Amino acid sequence: MDIRVQAEPFDFGAEAGAFAARQNAMGAVVTFTGIVRDLPDGGLRAMEIEHYPGMTEKAIEAIAEEAADRWNTGDLLVIHRYGPLAPGEMIMMVATSAPHRSDAFQAAEFLMDFLKSRAPFWKKEMAQDGADWVAARDEDEDALTRW
């Protein structure tokens, strides 16, 4: 299990490649990456991501351990950035491995659903005409009930 909370960018291709290369008995690797989405009018200057140092790492670790308990996974990787990010930059990635693809897909979805609303991150959109905290969506909270 590899969990990193960092301000620095990460190299998605290199991380995904290295993750896949260290799986021996695993037949499947699933990756997901989240990207800073521009506003519909193209007016996003930056996305500021705040987090709760200390709790963030613990919360992600607990989510990852839960995923490893529920599915037959081999390895899990979570990288999540904080600080100011430009539109198009990668915010975070997860990678999961499992003997068969179903466990890898489900573990990745579970990780994403819980990272979204149970890991202490908050996004603020800095637009041309002001700044706004991104509100949590009911759908994201509802997504947790399917697990």
Partner 1 sequence: MDVLYFAWVRERIGHPKDRIETAPGTVRELVEDLRGREERYAAAFADLSALRVAVDQELSDFDAPLDGVREVAFFPPMTGG
Question: Does residue number 124 form part of the binding site for partner 1 (CB under 8 A)?
Answer: yes
Binds partner 1 by CB under 8 A, chosen from 136, 142, 144, 147: 136
| Residue type (1 letter), 46 | A
Minimum separation from the CB atom of position 47 to partner 1 (A):
10
Closest CA to 73 of 100, 111, 110: 100
Binds partner 1 by CB under 8 A, chosen from 16, 72, 116, 127: 116
The C-alpha atoms of residue 85 and residue 105 are separated, in whole angstroms, by: 27
Complex with partner 1: residue 64 or 91, whichever CB lies closer? 91
SS3 13: helix
The C-alpha atoms of residue 51 and residue 80 are separated, in whole angstroms, by: 10
Q: What residue ranges bind partner 1 (CB under 8 A)?
A: 34, 50, 52, 54-55, 58-59, 80, 91-92, 112, 115-124, 133-136, 141
